[in-house]
Amino acid sequence: MWKDIDSFVESRRKELIRIASDLIATNTENPPGRERLAAKVVQKYLDGMGIRHESFEKEPERTNVVARIGSGSPSLLVACHLDVVPAGDGWSQDPFKATVTDGKMIGRGATDNKGQMASCMILAGYLRGKEDSLNGEFILVAAADEERGSRLGLEYLLDECGLRADYAIIPDVSYSMRKIDVSEKGALFLEVTSHGKQAHGSLPETGVNAIWNMVELLKEIETLPSAFKHTSHPLFTPPTLNLGTIQGGAARNIVPGKCVAGLDIRYLPGDTKEDIIALVEERIKKIEKANPRACFELKVGCDLPPSEVSYDNPLVGLIQRHTEDVLGVRPELIGMPGTTVTKQLLDKGVTAVGFGPGEESQAHMADESIEIQQLVDFAKIMARISCELLG
């Protein structure tokens, strides 16, 4: 059977490259998304292979595609996303025109996550030919909105469209198939506003400088993660705090009446949003007590709690064994500092792990690239896993 899989995938190498190129050529920068453009590429392939599928949109043009092969239980869901981060600056070529050079494909989304989507489409094509022998269901999801939290994507499919599965593998973990994501840090996004009083820049004493007050607060919370209850974990680096955005002031000769800072806090299993917010509020009160003219407002933008799945779940053994068969290496278990949609799946009782091709240094970068051989090998590994789990 494994030789049959390898032969099929190798014979579709050019098709895989073409599909990935077509997906990259669709500009699905999020915002605004417009995943409908990439969804058309997926739908055309599925129609050509005779694979049944449905499309779902919570908002116009924010298309999700769900394809199914086989039926019953167990069911294996594989979800890739169609949106990409903005191209940004620093590209040596058109980010939405795929280039193949030195065995790599270059383009926005090559490794996050359109290359993986192309691999999984080849995988679906193989399983379609084996559908009569499957004793379970393979579900391929081409999702929207992953780069902005999945509210219009997998979260919507799970919460409002009834999407369910027994197991899930999310190819949004780019460690060249050397690692399996079984745990993820929590992600807490906070917005802090410093309220001051606008005045003429030549008379700063008549106003309240919201920026200077914000600077004092930021000094206080810069080392906040060291005060968390949990600062170490066998699978994780320590918790972190990133000052991601700061806006304030209208002109150099105006005392700023408002300053807003955006914080990204990544925390370990065992800590909670409430614990962290209490620490931030404690430091806010300290500054306000020392400076009665300081006034702060705290808002919670988003919280994705830490997640963990049993390390001995069936997917781990299957991924390790078949990766070792194809690549000669046995993937290790890791905790992710970032987040994937495994969180939403685990919350619905789906046993989900992250595993996929690509290098972690390439995601969101200019001249983003992925090795084509990795995409081919990933399809081979996933076909083996799917056939053993479902067949």
User: How far apart are the C-alpha atoms of 186 and 269, rounded to whole Å?
Assistant: 7
User: How far apart are the C-alpha atoms of 208 and 215, rounded to whole Å?
Assistant: 13
Kindly list the domain boundaries of the chain, sorted by start residue. Answer: 2-184+306-390, 186-304
SS3 185: coil
Residues in the chain: 391
Nearest alpha-carbon partner for 362 in 115, 196, 161: 115
Q: Percentage of the chain surpassing pLDDT 90?
A: 96
Instruction: Say whether 186-304 and 2-184+306-390 share the same fold.
Output: no
- pLDDT at position 339 is 87
Question: Per-residue b/e over 239-250, b at no fewer than 16 CB within 10 Å?
Answer: bebeeeebebbe
Does pLDDT of 391 surpass 90? no
Q: How would DSSP label each residue in 360-382?
A: TTTTT-TT-EEEHHHHHHHHHHH
Tell which CATH classification among 3.40.30.10, 3.90.79.10, 1.10.3720.10, 3.40.630.10 matches the domain 2-184+306-390. 3.40.630.10
Sorted by sequence, the CB contacts under 8 Å of residue 310 that are 6+ apart come out as 351
Question: Per-residue b/e over 42-57, b at no fewer than 16 CB within 10 Å?
Answer: bbebbeebebebeebe
SS3 310: coil
Q: What is the pLDDT of residues 230-288, one digit of tens each?
A: 999 999 999 999 999 999 999 999 999 999 999 999 999 999 999 999 999 999 999 99
Nearest alpha-carbon partner for 110 in 383, 361, 328: 361
Both tokens assigned to 13: 């190498």
User: How far apart are the C-alpha atoms of 319 and 385, rounded to whole Å?
Assistant: 7
Residue 173 — very low, low, confident or very high, per pLDDT cuts 50/70/90? confident
Three-state SS letters, 233-299 = ECCECCCEEEEEEEEECCCCCEECCEEEEEEEEEECECECHHHHHHHHHHHHHHHHHHCCCCCEEEE
Both tokens assigned to 25: 């050529």
Q: What is the pLDDT of residues 317-364, one digit of tens each?
A: 999 999 999 999 999 999 999 889 999 999 999 999 999 999 989 999
Matching residue, tokens 């619905």:
348
| Residue 4, H or E segment | helix 2-11
Nearest alpha-carbon partner for 386 in 299, 315, 337, 325: 315
Q: What angle do the packed helices 36-49 and 13-24 form, to 10 degrees?
A: 150
CATH number of 186-304: 3.30.70.360
- pLDDT at position 383 is 98
